């Protein structure tokens, strides 16, 4: 591949370099310039006389897509990370304006007709795929309807966008706090306790941010504290998002009705690898059969263990699930997950993951002095044999007003010889300081690997011929494959020991502790699958029935009790902060579906040399570098030589390590 010139990284392409991260007015001005360029390209496309060709038509269409993507990526980014609330508010308004332009484009009959008239006889396979997939998207949007119907569809899409943005903002800014006494912090790590000192009245205030919430749910001996945190975390966007979600479901169903689909779920899967809601249900049934016995066995073992400690315990509720898993693993596998935290200080984990990815993908990461939207953001550039491939930003710790989740975010859509790809990680890991190394749980490290897999997909897949094929531009239910493939590298002892070193002594993570960690983490996989089934079935059913029939509290409780053995807690309104309902909508099955593919992919790597074997180079070329240049199904076949199967997933689900007891 021939990367773009470094000159392509022009200042005007970054909204924060134009003052947009500090001023609502500057943000609006920057977005307007991008949208003007978008409209100019479309006007030029429509004005091109026949015959329409790839050169005189698709090129202009792709410029329009490129400018729309860049505007959308960076407005969305500032909506998530800008320090100033007025800027975040304006970014949300700009995201709505950009979405309106996108909706108008998806229903523009003149543009559709121009693209449909292109002669594909000499098109490359990637170009043919791009045009065919684009035309399918137009038809699924309703471009073939009459003008009045198209106008109605556009209004509904704009309404859905507004509701989705409001839903996400309420999650982002809706964090709760709880109060605790010092004794209620018994069981939590010493560094956690040191960071959370009581006030003059002896009260400790804890937020629902991930670095506060997760340790409480895992280590706190106080059931009352765990339950308060659980309720606070799962009501942080309630009641604001309850009616918004119902309105969003109704709006989506109206769109599906107009387009002739039985449900939004059928519409949302029509251009995906899955193909239909019925196929998604078949996949769910397969996962259910594969996991049900193992999950029952795991629950019985955990419950028996808990009752041996608390004989009067009737049941384990969902607020205590993580705690009892932790206690069981300590007893059965001699593994205390607190024991590995000293080996995972944030700075070492970051350096280790960068080193691992550099070896696997045969690239080099160099720190950059390029500006970002906040002083705490680290910037790196990616080189391949000395040539600049792209840039990424790491915004990794909590701050007020910032998105509370973990995600990879495109920043600049890469296009060969035009723009270098840029992407960011937006995460909420513990913040290191001079007195606190920011110790991470091993699950945090897996999350970091997962998100870095997305990042490498955006960057290495961002040097395509067309902006519309760049980076994440695959089917939505293929996009989690690269992330879930990279997270499997956490299994490698040598890889872990290359960076997992005690923050005080420098000694590597002991091999016997790694073995215990693997055994302990393997226990609970069936329960993880059941959790995925719960989220997957809930998201599917919310979008696969008449919205008027939906009682959000009832359907959430019913699906929970269908798939989860842990006692339900009344007042759980998790649906109000289930952010994937705006992005994946009905298609949350993506995580489990792509896990099957990712495990099959990972099985092709040499376990004795994960980052050095030839599978890494093949994987980069056949999958990562393609971006969206091929259908996901074709990329699977190119790398595996066949379709994926359940063998690797079944092995993973039933895997036992030497420290794990027999069932």
Q: Could you tell me which of 523, 221, 222, 514 has the C-alpha nearest to residue 339?
A: 514
Residue 661: band (very low, low, confident or very high) from pLDDT cuts 50, 70, 90: very low
Mean per-residue pLDDT for 511-524?
A: 94
For residues 597 and 455, is the Cβ–Cβ distance under 8 A?
no
Residue 5: band (very low, low, confident or very high) from pLDDT cuts 50, 70, 90: very low
Residue at 449 is within a domain: yes
Residue 119: band (very low, low, confident or very high) from pLDDT cuts 50, 70, 90: very high
201 plus 94 within the same structural domain: no
Given 92, 119, 141, the domain boundary residue is 141
102 plus 192 within the same structural domain: no
* Tens of pLDDT, residues 619-628: 999 999 999 9
* pLDDT over 80 (residue 138): yes
What average pLDDT does the structure give for the chain?
A: 95
For residues 483 and 624, is the Cβ–Cβ distance under 8 A?
no
Place of tokens 């997939």: 133
Given this model, what pLDDT does residue 655 score? 85
Alpha helices in 220-345 (DSSP H): 223-233, 240-258, 264-269, 277-309, 321-333
> Total structural domains in the chain?
3
Mean per-residue pLDDT for 586-595?
A: 98
Q: Residue 412's beta-bridge partner residues?
A: 422
pTM of structure: 0.94
Q: Which two tokens stand for residue 70?
A: 């860049």
596 plus 646 within the same structural domain: yes
CA distances from 95 to 39, 89, 110 (A): 16, 10, 25
Task: For strands 364-367 and 378-384, give the pairing.
Answer: antiparallel
Burial grade of 543 (CB within 10 A; 0-12, 13-18, 19 or more): buried
129 plus 228 within the same structural domain: no
Distance CA 72, CA 31 (A): 9
DSSP 8-state assignment for residue 68: H
CATH number of domain containing 473: 1.10.1370.40
* Tens of pLDDT, residues 437-449: 999 999 999 999 9
Given this model, what pLDDT does residue 611 score? 83
Give the contacts of 257 (CB within 8 A, at least 6 positions apart).
none
Given this model, what pLDDT does residue 12 score? 80
* pLDDT over 50 (residue 517): yes
Distance CA 449, CA 461 (A): 18
Q: Could you tell me which of 566, 338, 611 has the C-alpha nearest to residue 456?
A: 611
482 plus 613 within the same structural domain: yes
Distance CA 109, CA 146 (A): 10
Given 141, 156, 185, the domain boundary residue is 141
131 plus 84 within the same structural domain: yes
What b/e string do you get for 212-248 counting C-beta neighbours within 10 Å, with b at 16 or more? bbbbbbbbbebeebbbbbbbbbbbbbbebbeebbbbb
Query: At CA 107, angle to CA 25 and CA 101, rounded to 5?
Result: 5
| DSSP-derived 3-state class of residue 407 | strand
Residue at 569 is within a domain: no
348 plus 402 within the same structural domain: yes
What b/e string do you get for 295-326 counting C-beta neighbours within 10 Å, with b at 16 or more? beebbeebbebbeeeeeeeeebbbbbbbbbbb
414 plus 467 within the same structural domain: yes
401 plus 477 within the same structural domain: yes
Q: Which two tokens stand for residue 84?
A: 């100033």
Residue at 19 is within a domain: yes
Residue at 627 is within a domain: yes
Question: Structural domain of residue 403, as residue ranges?
Answer: 342-526+589-653
* Tens of pLDDT, residues 534-570: 999 999 999 999 999 999 999 999 999 999 999 999 9
CATH number of domain containing 22: 1.20.1050.40
Mean per-residue pLDDT for 87-109?
A: 97
* Tens of pLDDT, residues 301-329: 999 999 999 999 999 999 999 999 999 99
* Tens of pLDDT, residues 220-265: 999 999 999 999 999 999 999 999 999 999 999 999 999 999 999 9
464 plus 507 within the same structural domain: yes
Mean per-residue pLDDT for 142-150?
A: 97
Q: For a pLDDT cut of 90, what percent of the chain falls above it?
A: 94
For residues 258 and 149, is the Cβ–Cβ distance under 8 A?
yes
Residue 491: band (very low, low, confident or very high) from pLDDT cuts 50, 70, 90: confident
Residue 663: band (very low, low, confident or very high) from pLDDT cuts 50, 70, 90: very low
Given 233, 253, 275, the domain boundary residue is 233
Given this model, what pLDDT does residue 4 score? 38
């Amino acid at each position: 591949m021939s990367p773009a010139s470094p000159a392509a990284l022009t200042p005007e392409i970054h909204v924060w370099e134009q003052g947009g991260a500090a001023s609502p007015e500057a943000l609006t001005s920057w977005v307007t310039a991008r949208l003007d360029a978008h409209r100019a390209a479309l006007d030029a496309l429509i004005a091109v006389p026949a015959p329409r060709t790839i050169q005189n038509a698709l090129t202009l269409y792709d410029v329009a897509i490129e400018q729309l993507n860049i505007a959308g990526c960076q407005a969305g980014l500032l909506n998530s990370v800008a320090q100033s609330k007025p800027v975040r508010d304006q970014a949300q308004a700009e995201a709505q304006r950009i979405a309106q332009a996108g909706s108008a484009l998806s229903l523009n009959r003149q543009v559709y007709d121009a693209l449909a008239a292109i002669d594909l006889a000499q098109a490359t396979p990637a170009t043919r795929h791009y045009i065919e997939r684009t035309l399918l998207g137009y038809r699924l949007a309703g471009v073939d309807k009459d003008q009045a119907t198209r106008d109605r569809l556009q209004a509904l899409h704009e309404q859905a966008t507004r509701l989705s943005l409001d839903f996400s903002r309420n999650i982002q800014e809706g964090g709760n706090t709880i109060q605790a006494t010092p004794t209620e912090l018994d069981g939590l790590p010493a560094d956690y306790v040191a960071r959370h000192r009581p006030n003059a009245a002896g009260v400790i205030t804890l937020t629902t941010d991930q670095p506060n919430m997760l340790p409480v749910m895992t280590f706190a001996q106080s059931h009352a504290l765990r339950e308060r945190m659980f309720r606070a975390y799962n009501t942080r966007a309630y009641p604001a998002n309850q009616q918004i979600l119902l309105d969003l479901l109704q709006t989506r169903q109206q769109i599906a009705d107009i387009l002739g689909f039985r449900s939004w779920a059928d519409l949302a899967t029509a251009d995906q690898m899955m193909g239909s809601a019925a196929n998604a249900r078949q996949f769910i049934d397969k996962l259910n059969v594969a996991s049900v016995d193992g999950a029952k066995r795991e629950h019985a073992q955990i419950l028996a263990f808990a009752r041996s400690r608390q004989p009067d315990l009737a049941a384990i509720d969902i607020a205590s699930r993580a705690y009892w898993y932790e206690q069981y693993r300590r007893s059965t596998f001699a593994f205390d997950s607190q024991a590995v935290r000293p080996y995972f200080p944030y700075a070492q984990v970051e350096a280790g993951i960068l080193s691992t990815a550099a070896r696997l993908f045969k690239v080099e990461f160099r720190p950059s002095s390029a500006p970002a939207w906040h002083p705490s953001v680290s910037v790196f550039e990616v080189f391949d044999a000395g040539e600049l491939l792209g840039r990424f930003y790491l915004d990794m710790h909590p701050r007020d007003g910032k998105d509370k989740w973990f995600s990879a975010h495109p920043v600049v859509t890469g296009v060969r010889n035009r723009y270098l790809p840029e992407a960011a990680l937006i995460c909420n890991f513990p913040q290191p300081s001079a007195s606190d190394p920011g110790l991470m749980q091993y699950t945090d490290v897996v999350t970091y690997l997962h998100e870095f897999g997305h990042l490498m997909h955006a960057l290495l897949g961002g040097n395509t011929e067309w902006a519309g094929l760049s980076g994440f531009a695959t089917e939505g239910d293929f996009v989690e494959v690269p992330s879930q493939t990279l997270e499997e590298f956490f299994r490698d002892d040598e890889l872990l020991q290359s960076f997992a070193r005690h923050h005080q002594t420098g000694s590597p993570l002991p091999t016997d502790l790694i073995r215990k960690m693997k055994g302990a983490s393997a226990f609970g996989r069936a329960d993880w699958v059941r959790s995925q089934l719960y989220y997957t079935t809930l998201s599917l059913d919310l979008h696969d029935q008449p919205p008027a029939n939906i009682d959000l509290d009832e359907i959430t409780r019913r699906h929970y009790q269908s798939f989860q053995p842990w006692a339900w807690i009344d007042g759980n309104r998790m649906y109000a902060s289930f952010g994937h309902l705006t992005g994946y909508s009905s298609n949350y099955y993506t995580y489990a579906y792509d896990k099957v593919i990712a495990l099959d992919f990972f099985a092709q790597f040499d376990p004795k040399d994960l980052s050095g074997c030839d599978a890494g180079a093949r994987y980069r070329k056949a999958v990562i570098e393609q971006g969206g240049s091929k259908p996901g199904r074709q990329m699977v076949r190119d790398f595996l030589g066949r379709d994926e199967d359940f063998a690797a997933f079944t092995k993973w689900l039933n895997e036992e390590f030497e420290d794990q007891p027999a069932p």
